[in-house]
Amino acid sequence: MGNRSLAIELLPRTIRSSTLAPASARGNPPAPAVRQQASAPFQAPAAPAKPPTAKPTIFAAAPSTFVFPTEPFAAPVLSRSDKIVRLKTLDEQSVSPCTKCRLHETRTRTVFGEGDPDAAIMFIGEGPGEIEDQVGRPFVDEAGQLLEKMINAMGLKREQVYICSIVKCRPPNNREPSADETATCTPYLLEQIETVRPRAIVTLGRPATQFLLQSKLSMSKLRGQWQSWRGIQVMPTYHPAYVLRQYTRQTREAVRSDLKQGLEALGMARRPRTAE
């Protein structure tokens, strides 16, 4: 190909659809469980003790009273150091001990998210899979490897973006989060977005896209169309797990086009590079 800037087509064929965790299925037929990824250099520390009781979180609103925000952010952007403190506090005091929905019963550990608190681009997925649940980090399975390739092909390193998901605990058997689980957990995500305040958000797959855009449309209708939410550009694209399962030129080109649009919209378009 002439432009290899998003060279996901070079992904090793060994990490195709048959190895993908259905955690990242994004509304597609479930796939077999993820196998441990040899190249993922993550050591799972000992699982934290289950919280004996629910602790109060900074979000008092019950899902039934929660109003999805659409207005521009009113608060000023925090300094980097204040962002770090706010995110750490949110994770340690609210998310890690959270028992607000049934997903806490089966999780090994919460997966808060990670990345540059000043990131210009935030990637939002659906929820932790098997490996993420063990290590407590987002996107560390095969789909995570592809996501990292996508990020690299945009001229960025994984550490330069922020990666998180709409629920912080793994749904059993990697099913999609239910509506009430999503409603209960997403105030944490909204807090992360408000803290990081990225210039663009790439939603990965249907659940994340439908939540952030508050839409019921399918991914085929939503992807590739820039939207604006609270002054942040939102680009829906396919989840990397879906790309791996549907490993066709058409799917890969769609994601490449989506991310290229994202870079151009941010004034970050880069010259084509040869894939590594």
Region of 13-21, 96-104, 240-248, 251-259 interacting with ligand SF4 (CB under 6 A): 96-104
**Per CB under 6 A, 164 contacts ligand SF4:** no
Among positions 184, 195, 210, 233, the unique one binding ligand SF4 when judged by CB under 6 A: 184
Integer CA distances (angstroms), 271 to 146, 152, 192, in order: 21, 13, 31
Integer CA distances (angstroms), 178 to 115, 206, 258, in order: 26, 13, 27
Check binding of 167 to ligand SF4 (CB under 6 A).
yes
Binding mask 108-147 for ligand SF4 (x = CB under 6 A): --x-------------------------------------
Cite the beta strand spans of the chain per DSSP E.
Answer: 114-115, 121-125, 162-165, 200-204, 227-229, 232-237
Residue type, 67: V
Contact 259, 237 (CB under 8 A): yes
Q: Beta 114-115 vs 162-165: how paired, if at all?
A: antiparallel
Ramachandran area for residue 197 (φ above 0: left; ψ -120 to 50: alpha; else beta): left
Handedness of CA 40, 145, 204, 176 (dihedral sign): negative
Q: Cβ 101 to ligand SF4, closest distance in Å?
A: 3
Output the smallest distance, CB 34 to ligand SF4, in A: 19
Smallest distance, Å, CB 68 to ligand SF4? 16
Nearer to ligand SF4 among residue 6 and residue 111 (C-beta) = 111
Only segment of 74-82, 101-109, 118-126, 246-254 that touches ligand SF4 (CB under 6 A): 101-109
Between helices 142-153 and 249-265, what is the axis angle to 10°? 50
When binding is defined by CB under 6 A, the residue of 98, 193, 235, 255 that contacts ligand SF4 is 98
Q: How far is the CB of 212 from ligand SF4 (least distance, A)?
A: 16
- Give which of 275, 110, 91 is closest to 195, Cα–Cα: 91
Nearer to ligand SF4 by C-beta: 153 or 204?
204
166 in contact with ligand SF4 (CB under 6 A):
no
Nearer to ligand SF4, 31 or 103 (CB): 103
Under the binding rule (CB under 6 A), the answer on residue 168 touching ligand SF4 is yes
Q: What angle do CA 52, 126, 189 make, to 5 degrees?
A: 65
Q: Which residues bind ligand SF4 (CB under 6 A)?
A: 95, 98-101, 103-104, 110, 167-169, 181, 184-185
